[in-house]
Amino acid sequence: MSKLENQVAIVTGAGRGIGHAIAIRLACEGAKVACVSRTEANAAKVAEEINASNPGMAKAYAVDVAETNAVAATAKQILAEFERVDILVNNAGLTRDGLSMRMSEEDWDVVIDTNLKGAFNFIQGVMRAMIRQRSGRIINISSVSALAGNAGQANYAASKAGLLGLSKSLARELASRSITVNVVAPGFITTDMTHVLPDTVKTAVLAGIPLGKFGEPEDIAAAVAFLAGPDAKYITGQTLTVDGGMVM
- Distances in whole angstroms, Cα of residue 63 to Cα of each of 44, 120, 186: 12, 14, 24
Which one of 156, 188, 214, 226 is the catalytic residue? 156
- Integer Cα distance of 113 and 116 in angstroms: 6
Q: Please tell me what DSSP assigns to residue 7.
A: -
DSSP states of 94-160 as a string?
------GGG--HHHHHHHHIIIIIHHHHHHHHHHHHHHHHT-EEEEEE--THHHH--TT-HHHHHHH
Taking Cα atoms as reference points, which of 85, 114, 74 lies closest to residue 9? 85
Taking Cα atoms as reference points, which of 48, 55, 4, 46 lies closest to residue 26? 4
Q: Give the SS3 label for residue 194.
A: helix
- Integer Cα distance of 57 and 47 in angstroms: 8
Q: β-strands 136-141, 87-90: how paired?
A: parallel
User: Would you call 61 a catalytic residue per the annotation?
Assistant: no
Which residues are known catalytic residues? 156
